[in-house]
Amino acid sequence: MILKHLIIIGGGASGFFLSSNIKTSNWKISLLEQSKNPLQKLKISGGGRCNVTNACYKPKDLIKNYPRGNKELLNIFSKFQPLDTLQWFEKRGIHLKIENDSRVFPETNSSQTIIDGLLSETKKNNVEIHYETTVLDLNNKDNKFEIITNKDIYYANAVVVATGSSKKVWNIIEKLGHKIIPPVPSLFTFNCNHPLIKNLQGISLAETDLNILNTPFKERGPLLITHWGLSGPAILKLSSWAARYLADLDYKFQLRINWITENFDDARELLTNYKNAHPKMDIYNIKIYNLPQRFWLNLLNHLNIIKKPLFEISKKEINRIAESLTNSKLDIIGKSTFKNEFVTCGGVDLKEIDFNNMQSKLIPNLFFTGEVLNIDAITGGFNFQACWSESYILSKQFN
């Protein structure tokens, strides 16, 4: 019997999870990976621990973490969601743990555990892996595919593109007739040299309200001051939701920060009451809203409020402090990549994909999975979960 040939282009999380789930004797399966060592992005993710997924089990809640692709993923997650991911790895002897923030990691705290598991499952399924094989072109001829690489020419009955954010492959896909949404970074920190945060690197605020000035983009959560500007969960989430808007601004904009998540009137009242209760206490020594002392002193210096007892603090000065705490406006002058997270928004237009099976609506037997699509998420294991779910659904086409 002559077997049909399936070629998977890309040996990342999506490609290997797909090959780990195809158990069939009807197809010859080849995986083409351009690097010598596969799954390198997975290896460095989560600080080398691999944030496998997130313990958010309701699809309608899960999709809220995807700035792009949330509507399409609802159908996908109804068939394979994070609980399925946990069970999939557990059945293969890979034990996972759920941390307090709902992020999921291997119990070993090593991404190599996940890598070894995927490689093992792929081997069991008799998938041929061709390393250091770069796809140069992809042609569709008479319902068959010709894949031209740096080493050989392959022919296939079906092709899965799982190449992540590869501009070269996007160009090839575009030549075939698919629309590519231009990619831009979607997970980054903000560069800022405002005097209010000068020399405060390492200071974190447990709860802040952020708003990109004159836009609907808002976020609440922890914020970290760095030597280059602002980071932390709230900043990263905001960067993801506003990714394309901020790219159009060349990452130069104003950010409004409420450092205490209280309104101006409440902050002014608290400061006034504190003054009346402790009139002899030095303004530099008071502790309100659990603000780090270094931040509090920096804020007073920025406002030119000198060291003096509270009874000498005027109403005008109290108003200025309350305004700064609840309504600071900082100029953002650029962006920086967040650690080793390389996430983009952009890719194959989702309107051209059938999310019942991940097949192209334009070209039969051409499939897509992972970051090659215009789908991305905030941090917390959500990007990997999209890869697992899409690839699992896709695998059903070949079993």
pTM (2 decimals)? 0.90
pLDDT at 25 over 70: yes
- Residues 295-326 have pLDDT tens digits of 999 999 999 999 999 999 999 999 999 999 99
What per-residue confidence (pLDDT) applies to 342? 65
Determine the average pLDDT of the residues in 220-224: 97
Half-sphere exposure of residue 329: CA atoms within 13 angstroms, side-chain side? 5
What per-residue confidence (pLDDT) applies to 341? 56
What per-residue confidence (pLDDT) applies to 162? 98
What is the share, in percent, of the chain residues with pLDDT greater than 70?
A: 98
pLDDT at 390 over 60: yes
pLDDT at 340 over 60: no
What per-residue confidence (pLDDT) applies to 1? 59
Residues of the chain with CATH 3.50.50.60: 4-184+345-395
* CATH number of the structural domain 4-184+345-395: 3.50.50.60
**What confidence tier does 66 reach under pLDDT thresholds 50, 70, 90?**
very high
- Residues 68-111 have pLDDT tens digits of 999 999 999 999 999 999 999 999 999 999 999 999 999 999 99
- Residues 113-146 have pLDDT tens digits of 999 999 999 999 999 999 999 999 999 988 899 9
What per-residue confidence (pLDDT) applies to 67? 96
What per-residue confidence (pLDDT) applies to 344? 87
- Residues 245-299 have pLDDT tens digits of 999 999 999 999 999 999 999 999 999 999 999 999 999 999 999 999 999 999 9
3-state secondary structure labels for all residues of the chain: CCCEEEEEECCCHHHHHHHHHCCCCCEEEEEECCCCCCCHHHHHHHHHCCCCEECCCCHHHHHHHCCECHHHHHHHHCCCCHHHHHHHHHHCCCCEEECCCCEEEECCCCHHHHHHHHHHHHHHCCCEEECCCCEEEEEEECCEEEEEECCCEEEECEEEECCCCCHHHHHHHHHCCCCEEEEEECCEEEECCCHHHCCCCCCEEEEEEEEECCCCCEEEEEEEECCCEEECHHHHHHHHHCHHHHHHCCCCEEEEEECCCCCHHHHHHHHHHHHHHCCCCEHHHCCCCCCCHHHHHHHHHHCCCCCCEHHHCCHHHHHHHHHHHHCEEEEECEEEECCCCCCEEEEECHHHEECCCCEECCCCCEEECCCCECCECCCCCHHHHHHHHHHHHHHCCCC
